[in-house]
Amino acid sequence: MSGAGGAGEVAGPAPPAQEEGMTWWYRWLCRLSGVLGAVSCAVSGLFSCITIHPLNIAAGVWMLMNAFILLLCEAPFCCQFVEFANTVAEKVDRLRSWQKAVFYCGMAVIPIVMSLTLTTLLGNAVAFATGVLYGLSALGKKGDAVSYARIQQQKQQVDEEKLAETVEGEL
pLDDT at 35 over 70: yes
What are 38-74's pLDDT values in tens digits?
A: 999 999 999 998 888 999 999 999 999 999 989 888 8
Per-residue model confidence (pLDDT) at position 3: 45
> Is the pTM of the predicted complex or chain greater than 0.85?
no
**Domain boundaries, given as residue ranges, for the chain:** 21-140, 143-171
Confidence of residue 80 (pLDDT cuts 50, 70, 90): confident
- DSSP-assigned letters across all residues of 24-85: HHHHHHHHHHHHHHHHHHHHHHHHHHSSS-HHHHHHHHHHHHHHHHHHHHH-GGGGTTSTTH
CA gap 45, 97 in Å, rounded: 26
What are 94-153's pLDDT values in tens digits?
A: 888 888 899 999 999 999 999 888 989 999 999 999 999 988 888 877 666 677 777 878
Give the list of residues 6+ apart from residue 95 with CB closer than 8 angstroms, or none: 17, 18, 103
For residues 110 and 103, the answer to whether their CB atoms sit within 8 Å is: no
Per-residue model confidence (pLDDT) at position 42: 93
